[in-house]
Amino acid sequence: MTNIPVWPDPQPVISHLASGPYPIDALPLQIRLAVEEVQRYIQAPYALVAASALSSISLAGQAHYDIARADRLCGPVGLYFLVVADSGERKSSSDTFFRAPFEEFQARASESMKPDWKDYLASLAAWKATQAGIQTQISNLAAKGQSTVQAEKALRASEDDKPEQPREPRYIRTEVSPESLRWDLAMKWPSCGIVSAEGGVVFGGQAMGKDALMRYLATLNLLWDGAELSTDRRTSESFVVRGARMTMGLQVQEATLRTFLAQSGTLARGTGFLARFLIAWPESTIGYRPYVEPLDWTHLDAFNRRITALLEREVRITKEGSLTPSLLVFTPEAKKHWIAFHDRVERELGTGGSLQDVRDVASKVADNAARLAALFHTFGEEKSGSQVGVNSFNSASRIVEWHLTEAKRFFGELALPDSLAKAALLDAWLITICKIKGVSEVSSRNIQQFGPTRVREKASLDLAIHELLELDRIRVRVIGKRRIIQVNPFLLKGREAATATFATAATGRGPIGLSAIKNLECSGSSVSSCSDQPAENIDHLVQDLLAGLF
């Protein structure tokens, strides 16, 4: 009789928390239909497409409205979104669809303001000539030893006559230093958004160098708060940013973000910078995007028309360049729901609570829920006037709560060493697929083709395998040039329970039917019959479902 080696008890590994299904049904109908339409075409993760759409709504609405959560708890509605995703995930494509109204509006505004710019430049030239003449007069009088008092008074008085530069709408930025951002908000247009599919320009750009890091984080934090920013200069004009509004919609690669966090130390979280973001870390859809014919864009066009209507509304700006948004308030019923949401989150912040590890993020979640509710109200036809209703708030609270769960997963995994994080990801994937298929081993070739994206590359896979070997969670046997990964049988109990749980999960492409899962069986009778087959013969449906979870 063949001796079967005894498996030791597996040591624990921090489990990878799969990204839950994005609550697409929580979006108001007009927004949801546009997001679904774009997602069907570009086939990016729902969370990524939704972030593009909501960033656009934030950018269009933030100049017009503030939200009052309670007496003396009033603030902006602008939101910060951060999507952690690989390059090629099609965020640029997603942003392009939802950015079109801003580009068209800015082009029309630029054309219509050409006469204003001509008048301004002519007036500025005349003013400079007057200034130069007075300065020359002062020099001549001083050279003759005569009094310059009257000429100096005239020079000071002429400062009041300096023509004001036209304020031309410029909403979307991709890369900007903290100094130029402050200047533009104070002197040009007081509402903008940094929207980029290459978040490295922010998290890894020159602006985030060691010398400027603290200043940039403080600037972005204060803009999210809607606070005043003072800039004092020795060699040029000092100025103050008042009443400005800011949106951020960034995608950043995991490696770039890890580097940023390592370089910034405790600053990124200690200053509350990352806590202000609605974070998403969806699983990649790369490799699962067959060609789709262009659509008729009925719902996207309706979405963009509403954005255009918001942009065409008059933006109220004081002479000093400060926005004066209208104040939205909750209906009494919506206020009760907001308080209940706030208190439910607060209870989980204490020691032993489910949110104690993300207290910084959770402490901002009620504020973000109020902001998003106001934006949902704003995006509607504003039939309810200045009162944000319970439906808008309940939709918003579901969205931000999903992002809170993502933040918990995001910060938990980033706190792990890279090798252990990948090991946890591979471990969860191996256990899931083995339970569903009724096997106990999978070939490394299948992992590289169908496994979690972050461990498909050989070096990453080898690191993860090494960690799991050390924890007695797997063994490796070699057959010729092939490696077979055997899972510790103590980890594979309860196939039916795992199948039932998996059947209710979502991949971002809709719910999975239980009957479909139960019909997924490996061909052949041996334990390794599934893992030993060529990758192209593996049940693609199982792999597609697993890819949606990991």
Structure confidence at residue 487 (pLDDT): 94
CA neighbor of 305 nearest in space, from 34, 505, 518: 34
Name which of 133, 189, 180, 121 is nearest 158 in CA terms: 133
Residue 236 has a pLDDT of 62
**37 CB-near residues (< 8 Å, 6+ apart):** 295, 297, 298, 299, 300
Q: Do 48 and 282 meet the contact criterion of CB atoms below 8 Å apart?
A: yes
pLDDT at 330: 96
Catalogue the long-range contacts made by 526-529 (C-beta closer than 8 Å, 24 or more residues apart): 527/439, 527/440, 527/441, 528/439, 528/441, 528/484, 529/439
CA distances in angstroms from 514 to 130, 151, 417, 497, listed in the order given: 81, 88, 36, 12
CATH of 24-112+167-414, one of 1.10.3470, 1.20.58, 2.60.40, 3.40.50: 3.40.50
Which residues are CB-contacts of 159 (< 8 A; sequence separation ≥ 6)? none
Q: How far apart are CA 164 and CA 160, in angstroms?
A: 10
Overall pTM > 0.75: no
**Angle 256-257-258 from CA coordinates, rounded to 5°:** 95
Please give the angle made by the CA atoms of 350, 354 and 357, to the nearest 5 degrees. Answer: 75
Rounded Cα distance, 412 and 355, in Å = 11
Distances (CA, A) of 371 to 117, 307, 326, 355, 422: 36, 17, 14, 21, 35
Q: Which of 539, 450, 532, 438 minimizes the C-alpha distance to 489?
A: 438
Residue boundaries of the structural domains of the chain:
24-112+167-414, 114-159, 418-549
Collapsing DSSP to helix, strand or coil, 233 comes out as: coil
Q: What pLDDT was estimated at residue 200?
A: 61
Which residue is associated with the tokens 């007496």? 71
DSSP bridge partners of 278: 81
Cβ–Cβ < 8 Å for 25, 32: yes
DSSP single-letter state for residue 495: H
**550 residues of the chain, pLDDT tens digit each:** 444 568 888 887 754 456 789 999 999 999 999 999 999 999 999 999 999 999 999 999 999 999 998 888 899 999 999 998 887 888 889 999 999 999 999 889 888 888 888 888 898 898 889 889 989 998 998 898 888 888 888 888 888 888 888 888 889 887 677 788 888 898 889 999 998 877 666 676 544 555 667 788 888 999 999 998 887 665 567 788 889 999 999 888 877 787 777 777 677 777 888 899 999 988 888 888 888 898 899 999 999 999 999 999 999 999 888 999 999 999 999 999 999 999 999 999 887 888 888 889 999 999 999 999 999 999 986 555 889 999 999 999 999 999 999 998 888 777 667 788 788 888 888 988 898 888 999 999 999 988 887 788 999 999 999 999 999 999 999 998 899 999 999 888 744 433 333 333 333 333 333 333 333 333 322 333 333 333 333 344 444 444 444 4
Phi/psi of residue 279, nearest 5 degrees: -100, 140
Q: Which amino acid is at 403?
A: H
Supply the pLDDT for residue 14.
Answer: 59
Strands (E), 11-133: 65-70, 73-76, 80-84
The predicted structure's pLDDT at residue 218: 86
Q: Give the whole-angstrom CA distance, residue 460 versus residue 483.
A: 15
pLDDT at 239: 80
H/E run at residue 388: strand 387-388
Burial (CB count <10 Å: 0-12, 13-18, 19+), residue 155: middle
Query: By the 8 A CB rule, do 444 and 481 touch?
Result: no
User: What pLDDT is attached to residue 173?
Assistant: 83
Alpha-carbon distance 340 to 200, whole Å?
38
Structure tokens of 514?
């239980």
Output DSSP code: residue 323. B
Location of structure tokens 């903290």: 178
